Amino acid sequence: MKFWVLTPIVALDAAVAGALAIYYGELALSEVVGEDSLSVPVLLLAGAIFTPVVALVAGSLVGVERRADTPRAAVAMRRGFVVAGWCLLAYLLASAIVWWPAG
């Protein structure tokens, strides 16, 4: 069976959901904080677009590399969630760096 294909699919879906949640949460935060510059929302939007792309590429690489070690769908899905988690962590760290001068 070709369960390895689930790894990039799950990574992309989880990264899109997580990036949207982070983006809209930080967009609401910028309105509360009163950040008037356009740089923070633009950089957050760029990160929200870039994160799922990186998750798809990384998920594809991990899936192809580990295709022989994927006996069940659950293993491939878990790998996809791990890839998405690392990509979302990187997006959170990048957004903290973007917010640093604004704070």
Instruction: Extract the residue ranges of the chain whose pLDDT is less than 50.
Output: none
For the entire predicted model, the pTM comes to 0.88
Domain regions of the chain by residue span: 3-99
How many Cβ atoms are within 10 Å of 8's Cβ, its own excluded?
Answer: 23
Q: Which residue has the tokens 């790998």?
A: 79
pLDDT of residue 35: 65
Residue 16 · residue 48 · CB < 8 Å: no
Backbone angles phi, psi at 71, to 5 degrees: -80, -20
Instruction: Identify residue 50 by its one-letter amino acid code.
Output: F
Please give the C-alpha separations between residue 75 and each of 1, 8, 44, 60, 62, in angstroms, as whole numbers.
Answer: 13, 12, 32, 14, 12
pLDDT of residue 74: 93
What pLDDT, in 10s, does the model give residues 29-42?
A: 877 777 666 777 88
pLDDT of residue 36: 64
